Structure 1
Amino acid sequence: MRDLTLLHPEGTISMRICHIALQGCLRLANVSYGITADTGGHIKYLLELVRASAADPDVTHIDIVTRGFENEKLGEAYAPDAGEVSGKLRLVRLQDGEAAYLPKEQLWQQHEALCDAFLAFLGSCGELPDLIHAHYADGGILARAAKERFGIPYIFTGHSLGAVKRQASQGVGDEEIERRIAIEERVLEAADAVIASSRDEAEAQYSHYEGIDSGRIRVIPPGCVLDRFEDATPSDTVRGELQRFLSEPEKPILLAIARPVRKKNLMALLEAYAGNARLRKQANLVIVAGCRGLLGDLEQECREVIEELIAAIDRHDLYGRVAYPKSHAPGDIPAYYALARETGGVFVNPALNEPFGLTLLEAAASGLPVVATDSGGPNDIIERCGNGLLVCPTDRAGIAAACLDILSDEDKWTRYSKAGSTAVREYDWQAHCDIYHRLIREITFPQIAPSAHNRLLVCDIDNTLLGDRAALREFLSWQQDHRQNVVLGIATGRSFHSAQAILAAENVPTPDVIISSVGSCVHWYDRDRRRFVEDAAWSNSLLRNWDPDAVADLAVALGLEPQGFLEQKPGKASFFVGKADVNTLAEDLRRNGFAGETVISHGRYVDLLARGSGKGAAVKYVAQILGLEPNQVVVAGDSGNDIAMLRACQHPIIVGNASDGIRDHPALAHAYTARATHAAGILEGVQHFRKAGLW
């Protein structure tokens, strides 16, 4: 690890990065996507990442290491000695003793030889990389070998995981999947950080692995090149194609674009449309499901899905209302989005699970509202962009109702359409690399911990710390000046990974502690190991009297509606108010035997927590661990889920934009109510307590 003296005056540090990507036919330019089954999206992701990364002046050199091979059909460009150089980028092809091209399923046979070749390459370098970024588990095996030999830290991106594939097969894995999972476990065990593209990947997919703890997973959404969708217009080609199918092509279009495979759940969308007479009358359905010639030429699963869709169209007599074009050119896809927008339509992604959700961002950039599965990355996209609605992918009536909700409300359609511009700003490669490079610096550079902390400041995130970027910059400047003696904590209703992701996106330095999921989870940042560590003692203490099934049964009986899977945590069950009486809910729960904590926010969200938890209890616990007295703690919040924290603290701050009537709450008469909003309100409150000699 490099010395502190290598820091630039501006606080930056030069970086040499090495990527390992062994699968497929990788080139620096003119990649023949689809030339093999393994030459696909991960290569596009890698090349866009390294090009954006190289644009940072602090990145001095990037190596991309892949596997060399010889194959007459694929060409001579992939031979072990056929390296490539372009500016800061260098592509290196390893020789592993096997000349033939190998698909990903066979790469495990070459691990030992590939490790030897990679270590020899590193040994021949004049300067070792500061960090290795491994793609897929086979690349991770090489990265782990380099860490063990040279002490080089590594980041891992899984792209797709064996455990998820096993789960899709009803939990049954064949020998190949089990081998892949074992390799992934070995890679995860030693990784310094794991990059996930979404909360679902971080909190659901990686939960199947024993080798990774939550504190090492970072959610960094990939960048997307969306320019061609922003300025797209409907084309005569696309109009003409749809006129072949539709009797009234001027109607709003429900648009789906996906490969015809079962996990994309296109049949559920068709059945949802067929089963709702009002939706059939109001809109057309257009399914763009890849390109095909004869059905018999398709892979078996794709052929079966197309045949089932056509049979369902016939069974429900949907002719003239449903279009399913056979083929399209790449340039037609933006035109489909644009035409759906022009007709006042909606884009629908009903996948059983969508790891990220690129099509949602394409639709957003096109100004087209979306209805999307609540399983996977769409949770993050719609939360951040506010451009549509989430639905359970198995609830066909719910899919239809969500589509109608948007189609029938002009103001909502317009709001969701305009919100798409957020996607263009938030999901570009520059934003990704800003976070990515901060993570690399964090891993490769010594961290400065508070050396004489005697105060603790804990802030809520949404509408408290965040919400006014100018005020946030002022707050962060103050925090930088006081980082040696003030411990910065976060207390939020968000999950740990959601909190971490939004803080990183807003350029907030890594806090010392994150209290997440309304106080049911505590993570400490370990600056020596440069990672977050979950406080197991806190979590375990909450589960002693927690019966999630009984809590769920009681909540549903009172009319509450469960929130999504990702919102349910050990010691926390989250609901929408639904049909419950929000004014008597807490008392109704107590009368029916619920002994835990009830938190109601914004008149809509309900969190039921294990007894003894909540933000207030968690802040007290953190202060005790730090050895601080109650008068050394200041907290700041804005809404109903902050009440317990504000009430429990001697020095609470209510920011000027507070909601849920907390400024008039009788238990918060001791709070300082700021005139300024958001982060400026926090600073105003801090200055008040300091001038009064109370903190």
Structure 2
Amino acid sequence: MFVLHIALQGCLRGGEVVFGLTADTGGHIRYLLDLVAASSQDVGVDRIVVATRLFHGAPGPDYAVPEERISDKVELVRLASASPAYRSKEAMHAEVESFARNLVAWIAAQPRPPDLIHAHYADAASVAGLVADRLGIPFVFTAHSLGRVKAAMLGPAAAGCPDLARRIAAEEAALARASLVIASSRDEAEVQYAGYAAYEPGRIRVLPPGSDLARFAAAEPRPQVDAAIDRFLHDPGKPTLLALARPVARKNLGALVRAYGESPELQARANLVLMAGTREDIDALDGDMAGTMREILVLIDCYDLYGRVAYPKTHRPEDVPAIYAHARARGGLFVNPALNEPFGLTLLEASAAGLPLVATDSGGPNDIVETCGNGLLVDPRAPEAIAAACLRILDEPGLYAACVAGGARAAAAYDWDRHAARYHTLLRALLAPEPPLATPRQLLVCDIDNTLVGCAAALGIFRRWRSRQAGLAFGVATGRSFHSAMAILEQQESPRPQVMITSVGSEIHHLDANGVTYTADAAWRARVSADWDRDGVRAALADLDGLVPQGSLEQRGHKLSYFGDAATAQAVRARLVRAGRRANVIHSHGRYLDVLPVAASKGTAVDHVRARYGLPERAVFVAGDSGNDVEMLRAQGHAIIVANYSDDLASQAGLTHSYVARASHARGIIEGVGHFRRMLADAG
């Protein structure tokens, strides 16, 4: 497999990247270089080329070198475009057509063309679209950050920004054209992209980036790094609040200085250390970095924080582990106050180095903190919330220790080799599609958590069993969102479902002919939308005692999710009746409570899919383990309850027809299907 990456922004080179050298020389370059390094380890990948712009003059001569060998499989190719000088991302649109022409010519000169193109940022996707028009090469798109998110941050000021409007239009085109879109977090996939007209959740996959975390876990302080920081501080032994980010507006470093400056308690408890890129003369900084640095310096002066805040002018990439170690040695923590953080590699690095996190609740940190339990999330626009979270971690030894322990899990959860394996599986599937069954003879739909997954050995047996089931369409029905469900299925190497029933039956997606992406079931969406007043339902439940909303990512257009016990579930039903709001209330595992359109449930969704395939009821098997599977199990004659069930499922009224398997998890599914197939055979 030959993969061509296109990345036009920033100052890209094969090693020793000077992050922060320009406003666009940031985390996407680290992501790209780490991705290609991991990809190159796959024996099935023959060649990787990274194509970027060639430019002369500032920031230096390295970026005018046409070719740079990175490894035996990886090379960096710089191609000319209309301008010979460095261009910021706001001006990059003027280079797209000329760069695309030169890239087409370069491809024509190769022994064979790339099998697939991976475009990084919207301008690269515009190039990939032009190449696809000429040569028919499919492309994958990674946005890294999105114009609509920036527009939301700017508010009314965004209306007068033609460069931003142009960027958003390019992103719309990229979403419409790309064969697959790769996101770093559920927030990106489910919230940030949702504002685009071309948004189709089924064409987006969440693949969290990895990081070389071993070197951060083993990091030790260095005297020269300590000295560069300590020279700013009256009491350098106090705990450190560390921030490490380019000084651009969206990183919101000013809010952190305000949080610190407005909290005398926090000033007494800790020092603030700002590693804000690399600079010589502030006036020479690129983009909005000069303004951001001036804001920081003015705030330090305004709050008279001299001796309590360190802000070194420069640091090298190889110094970063020692910077984290400096903060760890002083019992400090890492703070990321960004208005939006698409992923957050620095969060993983700091966490692996032993630092608890205080991070923005917008973007990838949601996934990181949920997965690892390594910190607290805050509203980045609320300085008092930032200060309170920092103080809480510093003042609660048990919480501090729990966050440190959570950080130790980061290396296993965010690994580039794992990322590359899933990435290559998707690329190969795009290049050699396995289309879904057009006319299945039977349908199996099962829950995911504690039914299909939960036992690795059982899932391996299921995988082999599934490969031998000709004529059987396989689907899942889960309380998870589409992207959450797809992520766990791919992480566990489950067979790819033909049907995804998600968000407790309120959403249905069908596998496309390419065998990789999915399309939402428009008929089902119209059906569950009828008589559904989401705002009215939410308002009716707003002040109900004992009802606690789940996180924002668990709320969907056709699902409101809460925590509550069985008594609270009864109170919810009664409140909705009194308010005249029609809804379906699902309670499971003793604490999860979902409120759905009255037409929505796993059971009605399975029946909708059965009718779509034209199958009789006897051709459908369903399997589950908990209370949110009741509707599905009750509605289908061939219902399987796996042995590891919860919520007293086997004794519930209406489920006496179910087969209770002796085996747990996926083995129980196989056992149940075998049982019902024997019944069908005996009945003739």
Alignment correspondent of 2:103? 118
Alignment correspondent of 1:619? 606
Is the contact between residue 260 and residue 272 of structure 2 (CA under 8 Å) also seen in structure 1?
no
Matched residue count? 672
CA distance in 2, matches of 1:233, 1:139: 39
- Secondary structure in 2 matching 1:70: coil
- Offset from partner CA, 1:428-474 (integer Å, 9 cap, x none): 21111111111111111131433662222222222322222222212
> For 1:102, which of 82, 87, 94 is the aligned residue?
87
> For 2:353, which of 341, 348, 366 is the aligned residue?
366
CA distance in 2, matches of 1:278, 1:305: 20
- Secondary structure in 1 matching 2:208: coil
Alignment correspondent of 1:459? 446
Alignment correspondent of 1:536? 522
Is the contact between residue 619 and residue 645 of structure 1 (CA under 8 Å) also seen in structure 2?
yes
Alignment correspondent of 2:146? 161
Question: What residue identity is the alignment partner of 2:340?
Answer: N
Asked if 1:140 is matched to 2:125, the reply is: yes
- Secondary structure in 2 matching 1:557: coil
Higher mean C-alpha deviation, range 266-275 or range 607-616: 266-275
Asked if 1:64 is matched to 2:50, the reply is: yes
> For 1:513, which of 499, 513, 516 is the aligned residue?
499
Is the contact between residue 450 and residue 644 of structure 2 (CA under 8 Å) also seen in structure 1?
yes
The verdict on how the C-alpha distance between 1:495 and 1:693 changes in structure 2, with shifts beyond 3 A counting, is: same
- Offset from partner CA, 1:92-137 (integer Å, 9 cap, x none): 3323354333333333223332222222222222312111111222
CA distance in 2, matches of 1:79, 1:687: 64
- Offset from partner CA, 1:27-75 (integer Å, 9 cap, x none): 3344444444433332222222112112111111222222223337621
1:573-592 pair list within 5 angstroms: 573-577=560-564, 581-582=568-569, 584-592=571-579
Is the contact between residue 14 and residue 68 of structure 2 (CA under 8 Å) also seen in structure 1?
no
Question: What residue identity is the alignment partner of 2:32?
Answer: L
CA distance in 2, matches of 1:326, 1:495: 43
Is the contact between residue 439 and residue 613 of structure 2 (CA under 8 Å) also seen in structure 1?
no
Alignment correspondent of 2:114? 129
CA distance in 2, matches of 1:430, 1:561: 38
1:54-453 pair list within 5 angstroms: 54-71=40-57, 74-75=60-61, 78-80=64-66, 82=67, 84=69, 86-96=71-81, 98-170=83-155, 172-173=158-159, 174-234=161-221, 241=229, 245=233, 249=237, 255-259=242-246, 263-266=250-253, 284=270, 286-290=272-276, 299-308=290-299, 311-312=302-303, 323-326=309-312, 329-330=315-316, 333-335=320-322, 337-338=324-325, 341=328, 346-394=333-381, 413-450=400-437, 453=440
- Secondary structure in 2 matching 1:302: helix
Higher mean C-alpha deviation, range 257-266 or range 439-448: 257-266
CA distance in 1, matches of 2:59, 2:282: 27
> For 1:646, which of 616, 633, 642 is the aligned residue?
633
Asked if 1:593 is matched to 2:580, the reply is: yes
CA-CA distance at 1:538 after TM superposition? 0.8
CA distance in 1, matches of 2:310, 2:323: 12
> For 1:46, which of 32, 44, 53 is the aligned residue?
32
CA distance in 2, matches of 1:63, 1:303: 39
Asked if 1:472 is matched to 2:459, the reply is: yes
> Alignment RMSD, CA only?
3.4
Alignment correspondent of 2:552? 565
Is the contact between residue 155 and residue 193 of structure 1 (CA under 8 Å) also seen in structure 2?
yes
The verdict on how the C-alpha distance between 1:360 and 1:125 changes in structure 2, with shifts beyond 3 A counting, is: same
CA-CA distance at 1:611 after TM superposition? 1.3
CA distance in 2, matches of 1:395, 1:103: 31
Question: What residue identity is the alignment partner of 1:311?
Answer: C
CA distance in 2, matches of 1:271, 1:137: 34
Is the contact between residue 246 and residue 284 of structure 1 (CA under 8 Å) also seen in structure 2?
no
Alignment correspondent of 1:11? none
Is the contact between residue 65 and residue 78 of structure 2 (CA under 8 Å) also seen in structure 1?
yes
Alignment correspondent of 1:550? 536
CA distance in 2, matches of 1:448, 1:677: 30
The verdict on how the C-alpha distance between 1:408 and 1:72 changes in structure 2, with shifts beyond 3 A counting, is: closer
Unpaired runs of 5+ residues, structure 2, are none
CA distance in 2, matches of 1:378, 1:604: 25
- Secondary structure in 2 matching 1:518: coil
CA-CA distance at 1:345 after TM superposition? 5.3
CA-CA distance at 1:339 after TM superposition? 5.7
CA distance in 2, matches of 1:364, 1:399: 18
CA distance in 1, matches of 2:263, 2:88: 45
CA-CA distance at 1:580 after TM superposition? 8.5
Alignment correspondent of 1:492? 478
- Secondary structure in 2 matching 1:215: helix
Unpaired runs of 5+ residues, structure 1, are 1-14
CA-CA distance at 1:246 after TM superposition? 7.0
The verdict on how the C-alpha distance between 1:140 and 1:676 changes in structure 2, with shifts beyond 3 A counting, is: same
CA distance in 2, matches of 1:302, 1:329: 16
CA distance in 2, matches of 1:51, 1:247: 42
The verdict on how the C-alpha distance between 1:382 and 1:114 changes in structure 2, with shifts beyond 3 A counting, is: same
CA-CA distance at 1:683 after TM superposition? 3.0
CA-CA distance at 1:323 after TM superposition? 4.6
The verdict on how the C-alpha distance between 1:152 and 1:247 changes in structure 2, with shifts beyond 3 A counting, is: closer
CA-CA distance at 1:76 after TM superposition? 6.2
CA distance in 1, matches of 2:624, 2:391: 37
- Secondary structure in 2 matching 1:487: strand
CA distance in 2, matches of 1:683, 1:311: 68
The verdict on how the C-alpha distance between 1:414 and 1:673 changes in structure 2, with shifts beyond 3 A counting, is: farther
Question: What's the TM-score, normalizing by structure 1?
Answer: 0.87
Question: What's the TM-score, normalizing by structure 2?
Answer: 0.88
Is the contact between residue 296 and residue 303 of structure 1 (CA under 8 Å) also seen in structure 2?
no
CA-CA distance at 1:571 after TM superposition? 1.6
CA distance in 1, matches of 2:221, 2:628: 46
CA distance in 1, matches of 2:226, 2:16: 31
Is the contact between residue 443 and residue 475 of structure 2 (CA under 8 Å) also seen in structure 1?
yes
CA distance in 2, matches of 1:464, 1:490: 10
Is the contact between residue 221 and residue 326 of structure 2 (CA under 8 Å) also seen in structure 1?
yes
- Secondary structure in 1 matching 2:55: coil
CA distance in 2, matches of 1:376, 1:519: 26
CA distance in 2, matches of 1:306, 1:673: 67
The verdict on how the C-alpha distance between 1:652 and 1:377 changes in structure 2, with shifts beyond 3 A counting, is: same
Alignment correspondent of 1:659? 646
Is the contact between residue 444 and residue 473 of structure 2 (CA under 8 Å) also seen in structure 1?
yes
Question: What residue identity is the alignment partner of 2:292?
Answer: E
